[in-house]
Amino acid sequence: MKHSRPSDSKHPIDYSNPKVRREILTRQRRDIWTPEQVESLARHLKLKPGLKLLDVGCGHGYALRTWGRYCLPGGELTGLDRERSLLATAKRFCRRGGIADSCRFVEGDACDLPFKDNSFHVTLAHVVLCHLAEPERALDEMIRVTRRGGCVAVFDNAIGGGAVSGWSNIRTRSIERRVFYDEMYLRMHDGVRKLGHGNFEVGCWMPSWMEARGMKDVDVRSNERVRWVAPPYRSPAQRVTIRSTRERIKAFEPGKFIDRAYYRQLRAGGATEAQVRRVRRGSKREYERFAGAVEDRTIAFASSGQFWCIWGFKP
């Protein structure tokens, strides 16, 4: 049976919106890992020419292009996704990167991989399992299709695995308000999980899940990338961030889908009606101030969150 989300729920991120898809699947992932981190992880995953690598939920093929090249020449690279349009884009990007001749693309489900046991030397998933209602089922499938001695690697969110920080020059909160909003943040993520939209703590659980399945030499590396901007936005990275922020504000309509989904998640996570009303009032005020400061180009803000790479080897 193919894995699917509950029919009465919708993913909190609207992937049908082309702008959202481009932002999430291309711009944000492109700069997650520095070249030095990529090289280091390639060594830890024991990548080398001639290996067969599977990228589960490949999307636009970021991980396939980033780590697949370490399996060349002589290797075979496979990208799997359940959306044909993403596979077509991944194929186009791999062609531009000069590795298309070593790639194949397969339409399929992360929780029901259409491959035989022990098919790959390396199986990885980059920001995929956090969106699944059954991430352990996907992990089981990844282990199944990996050869003995091969590597299984999961790059994913680990909310709760370390400090999550945020700051802006237009927002000042008392200790009481910060504690309140921190609680609502955690309740929102708990609500996402309970609604079957995924689990953004999946990275925290992954090391123990791997060890419970007998994986050897399980290890973890953390990446806490900080997004930071301040006038006059001189660096290319800051200009990209402020431009994308303005695009999102322009497309955002308070009270529409994103708003409603967020409040449903809060309620599913155990927030009371009174707490939701308080969040609604506070969020509206802060959004208006934030949008005005972005438009005036006076905004400064920084944010970070835990993102981990976890890997192990199949005995």
Residue 196 lies inside a defined structural domain of this protein: no
**Domain count for the chain:** 2
- Predicted confidence at residue 305, as pLDDT, reads 79
Q: Based on the domain organization, do 235 and 220 belong to the same domain?
A: no
Residue 41 lies inside a defined structural domain of this protein: yes
Q: Based on the domain organization, do 72 and 149 belong to the same domain?
A: yes
Residue 7 lies inside a defined structural domain of this protein: no
- Predicted confidence at residue 78, as pLDDT, reads 98
Domain encompassing residue 155: 18-159+201-224+306-313
Q: Based on the domain organization, do 23 and 80 belong to the same domain?
A: yes
Q: Residue 17: which residues within 8 A CB-CB, separation 6 or more? A: 251
The stretches in the chain having pLDDT less than 70 are 1-31, 162-164, 252-258
Question: What's 23's domain CATH number?
Answer: 3.40.50.150
- Predicted confidence at residue 218, as pLDDT, reads 98
Residue 205 lies inside a defined structural domain of this protein: yes
- Predicted confidence at residue 18, as pLDDT, reads 54
Q: Based on the domain organization, do 252 and 123 belong to the same domain?
A: no
Q: Based on the domain organization, do 133 and 149 belong to the same domain?
A: yes
- Predicted confidence at residue 3, as pLDDT, reads 36
Q: pLDDT digits over 185-237, tens only?
A: 889 989 988 998 888 899 999 999 999 999 999 999 998 778 788 999 998 87
Which pTM value belongs to this model? Answer: 0.81
Residue 194 lies inside a defined structural domain of this protein: no
